Amino acid sequence: MKKLLTIMLSVAFILSACAADVDPESLENDQADQDTSEASEEPPAEAEKTEDPESVENESESKEQEEESAVTTEPEDEEDNTDSGEEAASEDPAVEAEEPEEDTVEASANEGSSEEETKEEQTSNVGLKAYMPKKPMTKTFMQNDEYKAVYEIVDIQGNYVQQVITFGDMVTLQVLQWTEGTVSVVYEEFNPEDTASMLDGFKPVETVDVLIDVTQSSQSDSSFKLIDDKQTTSTPVRDFENVLVVQKIEKADSSGAEVRSTFHYAPDYGLIKEKIEDKGENGYTMNSKLIDIK
């Protein structure tokens, strides 16, 4: 124990002597050595710095990967948007597909209305009232070059025309009603005592016979057919232009055979020509043409 204490004291003495003998230059050298050692210890920091670029590169790569993933996800969004746009576009044709149906319904409605308008236009274009006699007159017809029939236009008031037809010994008084689409016999009397005008305050009770009806002429089952409204018809009196030609088909009362009548009406003169064909077993044909107007 004593020996140990002796050694410790001598070591302490030596250390104190060494500390007293230390040269400043040695201290500077020691400081330089310490700095050198510290400088030698700094490269690990540089090593750490050299490791940082890798981490930075790794971080940049991770960022690039994230950006690439973001970019890759964005096209998916764009594809989604494209898909949604395509779905919207696919929905639009459905909407557009519905619109033609409405157009079809409207087209069919327009076709129906156009047909009605065509009929109305046909009637209005024909304008049967333009073919009324414009004043009292006497028209003489020759039937089959053998018999005469005299049509005396007695009076004209409004839509009504009163005429007296004399054929041999038979006298017939008629009142015709003219509209834009029809000509009808609304009063008829055979061998009347008085043939003077009866149109003052005249009111038809019923329609006796329909001579012309162009309102139904375009229908296949109509008994009236509008043949022409611009025809030029020649008569012994003169040639008439813009003549209305209408055909009427009916059944004979006795035989039930088809009877075809063709009428020619001239503007401002009324009837100027007529042809009747009976297709029955004992059928006949009657041609009546205008030979005189007074």
pLDDT digits (tens, 9 = 90+) for 67-90: 554 444 444 444 444 444 444 444
pTM: 0.57
pLDDT at 66: 54
Residues of the chain with pLDDT > 90: what percent? 45
Q: Which residue did the predictor score with more confidence, 118 or 264?
A: 264
pLDDT of residue 91 exceeding 90, the answer is: no
User: If pLDDT is split at 50, 70 and 90, which confidence band does 258 have?
Assistant: confident
For the record, the structure tokens of 49 come out as 């710095």
Q: How far apart are CA 226 and CA 229, in angstroms?
A: 8
For the record, the structure tokens of 168 come out as: 């041999």
Pair of tokens at residue 294: 């007074």
- In the predicted model, what is the mean pLDDT of residues 204-232? 88
Give CA separation, 84 vs 69, 81, 112, 215, in Å.
Answer: 22, 5, 42, 57
Local confidence band at 15 (pLDDT 50, 70, 90 cut-offs): low
Phi, psi at residue 201, to the nearest 5°?
Answer: 70, 20
Query: Residues 171, 179, 252, CA angle at the centre, nearest 5°?
Result: 50
Highest-pLDDT range among 3-12, 44-53, 106-115, 194-203: 194-203
Place of tokens 């040695």: 26
- Summarised one tens digit per residue, pLDDT across range 146-181 is 999 999 999 999 999 999 999 999 999 999 999 999
Question: Residue 280: which pLDDT band, with cuts at 50, 70 and 90?
Answer: confident
Per residue in 20-52, pLDDT (tens digit) is 454 445 444 545 455 544 444 444 444 344 444
Tokens of 141: 């017809």
CA distance 59 to 95: 52
Separation of alpha carbons 86 and 83, rounded Å: 5
Query: Quick check: 209 pLDDT over 70?
Result: yes
Tokens of 69: 């993933």
The model's confidence at residue 266, banded by pLDDT at 50, 70 and 90, is very high
pLDDT of 126 reads 61
